[in-house]
A and B are shown apart, each in its own frame.
Chain A
Amino acid sequence: MIIGLDVGGTYTDVVLLGDDGIVRANKVRTDSKALFRTVQSGLDTIIEGIPPDQIRRIVLSTTLTTNAIAQSKVSDVGMIVSAGPGVDPEFYRTNPHYEVISGSIDHRGREVEAVNAAEVEEAVRKFIEKGIRHVGVVGKFSTRNPQHELLINEQIRSHFEKVFLGHQISGTLNFPRRIATTYLNAAVYPIHKQFFEAVQQSLEQKGLKIPIHIMKADGGTMNFESSMNFPAQTILSGPAASVMGSLAFAFDDEDSLVMDIGGTTTDMAVLVNYVPVLNPLGICLGPYKTLIRSIESHSIPVGGDSKISVQDGVIHVGPERIGPAMAYGGPAPTPTDALCIMGQIKNGDRNKAIQGFQDIARGLNCSVSDAAVRVFDQTCRMILTEAGVLLNRINQKPVYTIHELQEGYQVAPRKILILGGPAPYFARHFEEISDFRVGVVPRWDVANAIGAALARTTCEVSLFADTQQGIATSPEELFSMVVNRDFSSDDAVQTASDLLRQKAVRQGASPEELIVEVIENQQFNMVKGFYTTGRNIRVKVQIKPGLINEYDAIAGILSTE
């Protein structure tokens, strides 16, 4: 059996999945001040009376790091940054202890200027003086040649508890994001480590000596050990867990939208052939633009509890939520009240809802029941319009070849999967006002925990070969090999795939379920003076997000429940 646990803002959901589907599902209130206790009580209820040897896997998704960053409750970090020519790296400052040093690498990974050891020494001295224990080191183009970062690491690592190196984050070229991501990893490392070590101990005390997997923002998982090197990957894993959960109930391989309609917001994502569409670069969180792979999502401030107001005959839904619906004792009218008035929601106090809608009916110059219909209709239309914004953003993603521009896949979902309290009511109306076929995820209340439980390990590897210089490298994997002039893009894909498989297993995947997908494969002839002097090859491969194979059966059972 597997345990899936998702700590949300209000509730923590836990499921226990067995060969026959959901064995148990529980909800406990989240105490954001005591997340560890919340996790513990969630686990206690779910495993009570289950023999520990029956449980083979546990996957956790928490708001720990997201909250820490949002509330600036992270530890001090020392950043060492080397840039060379280009934009002034001061613009990318992440924190007070941010030292810019000399040294530069060019776009082909050649050293332009060496690192100055004295400057590094000086930075170390400053950090030690401030009591800093965690350091990030980032160089421009370190993904093409990590030598400078490695050198600096050698020089400084004995002085600090942990050093994070930019080139290990991702093979993607984006220096400012690499700085921000390295910083975030270092900043959340201590709390992440403390928390998960505590979880591991507590599981061991219960007799559960099983691998812990941790949910990531891209809808995949990583194991406890690798999470220590990439703790920031856990940021915003909650929404990803919900999307993965809805995957178990997807109609078929056709494109579909996933919508999670909550009280305050509606979150949307897109599935193509059972795979969520990923953001091409990474998460943006507050001021930080990162290289943390994530599901491409769109969150709008429209939900069941959004405050409704009318100004000059125009209905406004949200953006704020000031409390629950009036039908449930709240202070302001909401779309949920509209559903009560319309008689669709039956368990609320309809009279209170009607009271709340008096002003709205006056503002719209119509009866209360008409006002309710109009408010609900507008709420649905706003959500559909925003879905269009998300689809447009995905389809407008720039491409750089004629082939992609002509043949590039355009997502065009005709189906929506909805999760959330008011989902059934929205589903009906969406079908009335659009051409979408709409389905409600059956166990939406615990879809996030199901998603966490069933998500597979994901990862990515980039390989860069330059046959003129005679090298193929994958700096994130600390891999480098000598190649000759005949090294081809097929060889590159082969090499990258091997690295990817090793990485996936290292991060917790089971070897038999690795499906490698090539997401980038470009090869350029390098020419000097009308002669071809070599090939420049760029390959990127990934294990894409999806559900683990061995529980296909479970997913099947779930979808028929």
Chain B
Amino acid sequence: MTATAAIRHKPFPYVERFAALAASLPGAGHPNVVALRQAAAEQARRAGLPTQRVEPWKYTSLNRLLETDFEPASSAARPAANDAAGWTVPGSYRLVFVNGRLAGGRSAAGLPDGVTLTTLADALARGDDDWATGAASSGHPFVALNTAFLTDGLVLRVARGVKVAQPIHLLFLGSGEAGASAIHTRLVIRLEPGAGIDVIERHAASGAGVYWSNPVCDIRLSEGARLGHAKFIDEGAEAMHIAVTGVEVAADAAYDSFVLTTGGALARNEIRVTLDGERAGCRLDGLYLGRDRQHIDNTTETIHAQPMTTSTETYKGVLEGKARAVFQGRIVVRPDAQKSDGRQLNKTLLLSDRAEIDTKPELEIHADDVKCSHGAAIGEIDADALFYLRARGIGAEEGTRMLVEAFAAELIDGIADKSVASLARGRLAAWLAGSAPGGTA
């Protein structure tokens, strides 16, 4: 081992592009926005990128990101009309972003009163900076990079007591056709007391090539609000997706998350939830389907900060080829959070002996009257079940597919929102049929 092996952070040359770019970023005319961006760029420069010596990055290497010479994605990207076809949610309100910029219209027609959608480009152009103050604003290097380079995204506000039946559907498309490009978008969600809405967020490729998607999602749920948040990571085969989601949940509010990852050469999805009021709750569910040399990292942290908070988490994965997955699930119960309940489960099916999963549950409990549990299981296809299917004339491949589908479907069947469940089933079927990850169909 060389001396450099102990290095915990490496400089990320991409940050140096900020100086030349700053004047052309949205909001450049507003000193408050400029100051915010400059501070973030400085923080990102100082932080560099974590190496695997830094505990939360122990199983995921960022070398591929460090070694690629990224350009901020060009705004000249083609519109996405064709790319977005075949991926529609009936009755949903949809916005499409291509290479980090809104493509197409943004009318709020059909949305009920009390729902406000503002693109971040518009918010920045008028000098807003309140988008930067939420749960995801901590000293995370990828949040700092996002703040510095941010081009667009969405601020979604739902007023007190407004329950929206129609899901908001966000499609983020990336392309590396014009050279390795970096895409920085942010999704800010603020639900006032008693508000409720479902958001479907999908990330996919609109073209071939290497790109790096750096999305940040910042969510604040006031008392009694409810957010259903489904995220589909279907990035292109050469893409890197490194996402941070921060969520604050007030008393009696509920955050309901489902993350399905099928795409990306490297996908890291980090979710940090703070249950910050009595009876606040969250459900974090996820499904990861990896093949070839994909690396899929789901890292979650749930902080029970107040009494009687509840969290349940189930992540299931299927890996074949040389795919590698990471599950890190941390549950923290703070001293005040008596009578809290935290449950976590991670199950992975390995279809090849070269596939790998690193699973790391962590319970950190500082209160005595709590219920917490976690479990992890790693297995192969059940030989008896497969034999039973084959004994009925079903081929080994199809039988395996049926059993994998059954394993994954258990989680999808638990999704309350029908449109999300049906999108998830569609992605699962496409993956089982062997379609390349990251297609936009």
Do the two chains bind? no
